[in-house]
Amino acid sequence: MPQKIQRVKGVNDILPAEAKQWQALEAVVKKVMDRYAYGEIRPPLFEKTELFARGVGEDTDIVSKEMYTFSDMSKSSLTLRPELTAGVVRSYIQNNLQQISPVQKLWYEGPMFRQERPQKGRYRQFWQVGAEAIGSPNPEQDAEMIALFYAILEELGIAESVTLKINSVGDSESRAQYRSALQDFLRPHLSDLSETSQHRFETNPLRILDSKAPNDKALVQNAPKIRECLNATSAAHYEQVLEMLEAMDIPYVQDDLLVRGLDYYTHTIFEFTSDALGAQDAICGGGRYNDLVKELGGQDVPAIGWASGIERLLLVVDALKPLPAESDLDLFLIVLGDDLRTKAPQLLHEWRNAGLKCDTDSLRRSMKAQMREANRQKARFVAILGEEELAQGVVQLKNFETSEQQPVAFEAVVAAILDNN
Ligand code: ATP
Ligand code: MG
C-alpha cells in the first residue's frame, strides 16, 4: 500500500465542524468592518522578497528567520506573505488608491506564513484579520482603529477578558532622543545583556525592552521610559488618543515596555492580550506607521493598522463563549425503493432552489440507517418518499420536534416547512 502523506509541520486542516466556528467569527468581522466603513482588500499570497525586507525590516524576527522564500522560473526571489501591512501598502501605492479618496480604510483576512517553532497558538500557516487606515495623521484615526478591534471583541462577547496595552514610540525625533537615552542607560551593562540584545544595542536598541531573556528583562525594568522622551507633538498626539479611548469607555493599560517587533512603527502602538491563552497570549498587535508608505516608494502618507491571529481569537472564544453554530438541516429526504431514484433528486433540487437546507442518503441504505443520518444532522423535518407516496404525489412529512407526521403534496412541502420557522 502506498504510504500516507502527512501534512507539513505547523499547518492545520480546518474541518467542516470547526469551519462553522470560523464562518461565525468571519460574519462578526464583516459586520463590524461594514459598520466602521472599511472596505475589503485581497492582496496576493506572495510578493517580491524585497517588499518584506524593506517593509518589515531586515532586523526583525520575521525577515531575519521566519520567511518562506523561494525563487520562481524567472529566478526572482519571492516570499509567502508573513504579514499583510507591507502588501496592503504596496497595493495602495501601485493602484493609486489615494486618488479614490485621501483616506483609505481597508481590511483583510487570510493566511500568513512564518517558519516558527510550532506550538499551541503558534503555527507556520496561520490566519490573520487586519485593518489599515492610510491617509490620516490624526489621533481620532488611532482611536477609531483601536475601537474597531474592540468592537469585534465586544460582538464576540470576549471584550472583558482581554487587556489592551498601549504605548507611544513617538515621531522620529522623539525616538532618536530615546534611543540615545536608552543606550546611555544600557552601556554600562552591555556585557550582561543576552547575545541578541548586544547585537540590537546598535541596530535597534528599543527592541531590547521586548527581550525575553530574564537578565535583560530585569535590567530594563529600570530603563528610562520612552513616554518621558516624547517631544511636545508626540506627547500631545498620545494624550489625545488616550482621552478618546476614555470617552469611548475602552479600558487600557499603559505599558512602558511595549515596543512591538516590527521596524515601521511611529507614535501609538498597542497590543491586545488574553488571560485565556497560555504563553502565546497576544491576540492582536498594531500601531501607527507614518513612514512606511514613503519608504516603499509612495508619497509621504501617514497610516495606522492592526492584525489579529484568528486561531488565537478562536481559542479565546472557544474557552469563554463559543459562537452559536450555523442552523441545522431543514429537511432530510428518506428514499425507500429503487423506482424513486429520479424523483428524489428532482424534489431535492426544487426544495434547495427554494432555499431549504436539505440532504438525503446517496448510499441507498435502509430506512433505519437513513433515519439515523437525519438525526445525526439534526434535521428539523424528514420527508419519507416510498412508492405509494410517489403514486399520490406526496411525501410523509415528519416534524422531528413534535413527532407529528402527515402526507404533504410535493409542491406544498416548502411552504409547510417555512411556515414552521
Ligand atoms: P508573537 O508575539 O505571538 O510572536 P507577533 O508580534 O509576531 O506575535 P504580529 O506580527 O504582530 O505578531 O501578528 C499579529 C497577530 O498575529 C499576533 O498578535 C497573533 O495573534 C498572530 N500571530 C502571529 N504569529 C502567529 C503564529 N505563528 N501563529 C498564529 N498566530 C500568530
Ligand atoms: Mg512573532
Report pLDDT for 326.
62
pLDDT digits (tens, 9 = 90+) for 301-343: 999 999 999 999 999 999 888 887 666 899 999 999 887 889 9
pLDDT digits (tens, 9 = 90+) for 184-222: 999 999 999 999 899 989 888 988 998 889 999 999 999
Report pLDDT for 321.
82
Q: Is the pLDDT of residue 261 over 70?
A: no
Give, for ligand 1, the residue of 116, 128, 306 to mutate: max count of ligand atoms closer than 8 Å to Cβ: 128
pLDDT digits (tens, 9 = 90+) for 103-125: 999 999 999 999 999 999 999 99
Report pLDDT for 197.
92
Report pLDDT for 251.
98
Listed range (14-23, 121-130, 259-268, 305-314) with the worst mean pLDDT: 259-268
Torsion 154-156-160-164 (CA) sign: negative
- Stretch 251-255: mean pLDDT: 97
pLDDT digits (tens, 9 = 90+) for 20-61: 999 999 999 999 999 999 999 999 999 999 999 999 888 788
User: Is the C-beta atom of 259 inside 6 A of ligand 1?
Assistant: no
- 347 vs 277, higher pLDDT: 347
User: Is the C-beta atom of 128 inside 6 A of ligand 1?
Assistant: yes
CA–centroid distance, 354 to ligand 2, in Å, is 48
CA-to-CA distance for 180 and 229, rounded, in angstroms?
10
**If you take atom 16 of ligand 1, which residue's CA is the nearest one?**
309
Pairing label, strands 69-71, 125-134: unpaired
How many Å from the N-terminal Cα to the C-terminal Cα in the chain? 50
CA–centroid distance, 372 to ligand 2, in Å, is 47
DSSP element (H, E) containing 328 = none
DSSP-assigned letters across all residues of 62-95: IIIII--EEE-TT--EEEE-S-SHHHHHHHHHHT
For the chain, the 3-state helix, strand and coil shares in percent, each to the nearest 5, are 45, 20, 35
Report pLDDT for 323.
81
CA–centroid distance, 415 to ligand 1, in Å, is 49
- Stretch 94-101: mean pLDDT: 96
Give, for ligand 1, the residue of 280, 289, 308, 313 to mutate: max count of ligand atoms closer than 8 Å to Cβ: 280
Cell of 271: 497590543
Q: Exposed (0-12), middle (13-18) or buried (19+): which is 184, by Cβ within 10 Å?
A: exposed
**Average of per-residue pLDDT values in the chain:** 94
pTM of the model: 0.93
Nearest ligand for residue 280 CA? 1
Nearest ligand for residue 65 CA? 2
Report pLDDT for 397.
97
Q: Which residues pair with 394 in a beta bridge?
A: 409
DSSP-assigned letters across all residues of 124-186: SEEEEEEEEEES--SHHHHHHHHHHHHHHHHHHT-GGGEEEEEEE---HHHHHHHHHHHHHHH
Nearest ligand for residue 165 CA? 1
